[in-house]
């Protein structure tokens, strides 16, 4: 659990619409934090807060891992075609 300025963030929380939008800008367009901030009309620090929240909620150590986790969630989980 992380104490945010506005509310407590729990790892089980779903991503907000804004967080999904931010993650999509990183994933779909390959934007960096400054580009995302400019596109949204917010500061880099606001984008950093969003990315920290995204990573926390998805249990990801990196933004790339967060993109992968969200992609798998959207697809109903990672389905490996390999058989062992």
Short-list 16, 38, 14, 35, CA closest to 26: 35
pLDDT category at 73 given cuts 50, 70, 90 is: confident
Calpha distance 28→45 (Å, rounded): 21
Is a pLDDT exceeding 60 seen at residue 18? yes
pLDDT category at 74 given cuts 50, 70, 90 is: confident
68: number of Cβ within 10 Å:
15
Q: For the chain, which residues make up each domain, given as ranges? A: 2-67
54: number of Cβ within 10 Å:
23
Average the pLDDT over 16-41 and give the result. Answer: 95
Average the pLDDT over 46-66 and give the result. Answer: 95
Q: Which CATH number is 2-67 given? A: 1.10.10.10
Is a pLDDT exceeding 90 seen at residue 43? yes
Distance, C-alpha 72 to centroid of its chain = 13
Calpha distance 22→51 (Å, rounded): 8
pLDDT category at 39 given cuts 50, 70, 90 is: very high
Q: Is residue 34 within 8 Å of 41, Cβ to Cβ?
A: no
């Amino acid at each position: 659990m992380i104490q945010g300025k506005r509310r407590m963030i729990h790892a089980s929380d779903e991503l907000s619409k804004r967080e999904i939008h931010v993650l999509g800008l990183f994933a779909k367009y390959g934007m960096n934090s400054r580009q995302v901030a400019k596109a949204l009309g917010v500061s880099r620090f606001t984008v950093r807060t969003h990315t920290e929240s995204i990573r926390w909620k998805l249990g990801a150590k990196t933004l790339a891992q967060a993109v992968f986790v969200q992609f798998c969630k959207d697809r109903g989980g990672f389905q490996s075609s390999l058989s062992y």
